[in-house]
Amino acid sequence: MYAGEVTTPPSLRADAARNRERLIAAARRVFAEQGLDAPIEEVARQAGVGIATLYRRFPTRDELIAAAFDNKMAAYADAVGVALADPDPWHGFCGYLEAVCAMQASDRGFADLLTLSLPTAKEFEAERARAYHGFVELIDRAKATGRLRADFVPEDLVMLLMACAGVITATADAAPGTYRRLLGYLLQAFAGPGAEPLPDPPTPTAMYRALLRLQGR
Amino acid sequence: MYAGEVTTPPSLRADAARNRERLIAAARRVFAEQGLDAPIEEVARQAGVGIATLYRRFPTRDELIAAAFDNKMAAYADAVGVALADPDPWHGFCGYLEAVCAMQASDRGFADLLTLSLPTAKEFEAERARAYHGFVELIDRAKATGRLRADFVPEDLVMLLMACAGVITATADAAPGTYRRLLGYLLQAFAGPGAEPLPDPPTPTAMYRALLRLQGR
DNA sequence: ATACAAGTGGAGCGAGCCCTCCGATTATGC
DNA sequence: GCATAATCGGAGGGCTCGCTCCACTTGTAT
């Protein structure tokens, strides 16, 4: 923690700071229910603020997204820590995946975010990297117990997040909770020694490029 | 097969019939690479035809979609027949899922289509129903051999298609083939007696409502 | 050949969204 | 209080897309 408070950078006029908070609150609501490509004007409207005000404070969509999700992103990275603290690595591993998928299910914007990379938001990608490294450690420990199959790779998490996002966007309204069943199946597949060999995973760099895909649709 | 040829219903003038075919060909290309919500005007442009001509022949997007995909939809329904013809039901079951996912991977529009219902296109939904009933039969036989777990339900196919669609849309460009690994994991989870109980599946009607979700975004 | 129905293309309107510009408003230090 | 710099809001231009209308062209039956 440095001196400068993250949510209100350098001395903003009182009303400006208030509007900034309103915008962030509105963005969280709008992104949560409509996803990351929701109309930016809707955010301004829900915040009770002019469009110009929004653009002055957040010149690009990515900056607004970064501001709206920094807390969830931190929570996401922290979740690995919780999992690592579990005395049973496999139990921690399962709990971690459940927690992350539940976060996706409760926020469409966040589900989008986890399967996307915003190179602009650097302190943001740092959180992602922190989560990633913790997860690699978690994998190692879980494999050591023999409960997690040996051919599991970190990219499988990204794949899982994408699959889960697909189920969630399709079922969020009419059949919420379906994603739990998908996760249940996958956890059983991740467990124990793999009976059959799996198709090769994508390389880390290929998967990273997939995360960079231009957003929208 | 009735007398009226399906692709050119009631006596169209020669040039009109030709344009109709061009439109369908263009629609297949455009939908395949851009998904079902591709701009309709792009189809007209690629067909080398005015927008009005497209609208006269296919007044609604759904009608164009139905015309463009009736062959793939038939192939999709036929694939169940192939699987049922396999002497080893479990082998047929696995092959079926692989074939369907491969169809999704090769055509973004088709991937959309399988996780969506177009109540407008009735002969279309009939194909879907045909596939569904064949699949139920396939499930029964595979369960009888003991290779497919007893708690597998038909809705799990829909769930799989949604998950696969999520992976495919995210990885189609940068890491194609990732979906194979997802399928590999899931097939192993579907096999054998389930070690752990699974979260309940959605009811068939809930899943159907999920398929009806308004398209776009 | 001709006449007429069938078919065609693109201009054009409206809607939704992004983003900028600028005159009006308001907080803040003195 | 007052000056002034910071902030505000919304009109407006630009773009994409869906869909319609209508004057013109073309196939075809006689």
> Token match 């491969």: residue?
B102
Domain positions in chain B: 9-59, 69-211
What is the tens place of the pLDDT at every residue in A174-196?
999 999 999 999 999 999 788 78
Residues 6+ apart with CB under 8 A from A78: none
| Chain C bases closer than 7 angstroms to a protein Cβ | 6-12, 16-22, 26-28
Which CATH architecture best describes the domain B69-211? Orthogonal Bundle (1.10)
| Domains A8-59 and A69-212 alike in fold | no
What is the tens place of the pLDDT at every residue in A17-29?
999 999 999 999 9
Strand C lies under 7 A from the Cβ of residue A13: yes
Cβ burial of A19 (10 Å; 0-12, 13-18, 19+) is buried
Q: For all residues of chain A together, what is the average pLDDT?
A: 93
| Lowest mean pLDDT, pick from A8-17, A130-139, A206-215, B66-75 | A8-17
Query: Which fold does the domain A69-212 belong to in CATH?
Result: Tetracycline Repressor; domain 2 (1.10.357)
Query: Which fold does the domain B9-59 belong to in CATH?
Result: Arc Repressor Mutant, subunit A (1.10.10)
The alpha-helical segments, DSSP class H, found in chain B are 14-34, 40-47, 51-57, 61-85, 89-105, 108-114, 122-144, 155-171, 178-190, 204-211
pTM, rounded to two decimals: 0.93
Backbone angles phi, psi at B191, to 5 degrees: -75, 155
Asked if pLDDT for residue A6 goes beyond 90, the answer is: no
Strand C lies under 7 A from the Cβ of residue A15: yes
Residues 6+ apart with CB under 8 A from B178: A159, A162, A201, A202, A207, A210, B167, B171
* Per-residue pLDDT at A8: 44
Contact (CB<8Å) A174/B217 = no
Percent of chain A past pLDDT 70, that is, above it, reads 94
Q: Does domain A8-59 have CATH number 3.30.2290.10?
A: no
A201 confidence band (pLDDT: 50, 70, 90)? very high
Cα–Cα distance for residue pair B197/B193, rounded to 1 Å: 10
Strand C lies under 7 A from the Cβ of residue B12: yes
A123 confidence band (pLDDT: 50, 70, 90)? confident
